[in-house]
Amino acid sequence: MLQFKLVLLGDSSVGKSSIVHRFVKDSFDEFRESTIGAAFLSQTVKLEKHQDVTIKFEIWDTAGQERYKSLAPMYYRNANAALIVYDVTQPGSLVKAQSWVEELKHKVGDQDLVICLVGNKLDLCEADSSVRQVEIDDAQTYAQEQHLLFHEVSAKTGAGIAKIFQEMGEKVYERKTAESAASAATQPRKTLNVELQRPSTNDSTSCCA
């Protein structure tokens, strides 16, 4: 099974761990503790667009607190996919998300990485529209300009969560298969010149002694 490394980045308390737990365990904890360092989980995804293909995400959920920021490169290095999360009720968290986008593009390069911008806690706006502080159009326009995937979700209700990982899975798989096809096309064909040697009949120890 193809495995892909996925990293979650974003400000503290935006709901990174909650998104991962909703995806991996289909559960939600109202009182989740802040992550220390990073947490690792894995989950498989059966791709809807590619019949009979199941991929595995190895997920690194990083800690959003400023004091852990220097650890992040360890987790996004060699990643195939990144979810950059903000909270739709906290405009500062979008600014932080944008700085992660910049850092990834600078350090990793978006050719190598599928990036998805995710606005979380949508349920809060649905309960009371006045708490929304980041307009969907603004975030979506930014995502389009930066060539990022984009979703608004709720880890609490589960709305939109499976869709993120389905779409990310398809993108990383398509990238991988396109890369493999391109490298196969550019590889020179190797001709094997195998000379068959007849074993000498009077040397019974020649091959295994």
Ligand X SMILES: Nc1nc2c(ncn2[C@@H]2O[C@H](COP(=O)(O)OP(=O)(O)OP(=O)(O)O)[C@@H](O)[C@H]2O)c(=O)[nH]1
Binding site for ligand X (CB under 6 A): 10, 12-18, 29-32, 34-35, 63-65, 120-121, 123-124, 154-156
Whichever of 55 and 84 has its CB closer to ligand X, that residue is: 84
Supply the minimum distance, in Å, between the C-beta of residue 176 and ligand X: 28
Supply the minimum distance, in Å, between the C-beta of residue 24 and ligand X: 13
Whichever of 15 and 169 has its CB closer to ligand X, that residue is: 15
In terms of DSSP bridges, do strands 2-10 and 54-62 run parallel, antiparallel, or are they unpaired?
parallel
DSSP string of 141-174, one letter each residue: HHHHHTT-EEEE--TTT-TTHHHHHHHHHHHHHH
Are the CB atoms for 94 and 85 separated by under 8 Å?
Answer: no
Side-chain-facing half-sphere of 161: CA atoms under 13 Å: 24
Are the CB atoms for 83 and 118 separated by under 8 Å?
Answer: yes
Whichever of 63 and 114 has its CB closer to ligand X, that residue is: 63
Supply the minimum distance, in Å, between the C-beta of residue 112 and ligand X: 24
Tokens of 131: 């708490």
User: Which single residue brings its beta carbon nearest to ligand X?
Assistant: 64
Supply the minimum distance, in Å, between the C-beta of residue 185 and ligand X: 42
Whichever of 150 and 173 has its CB closer to ligand X, that residue is: 150
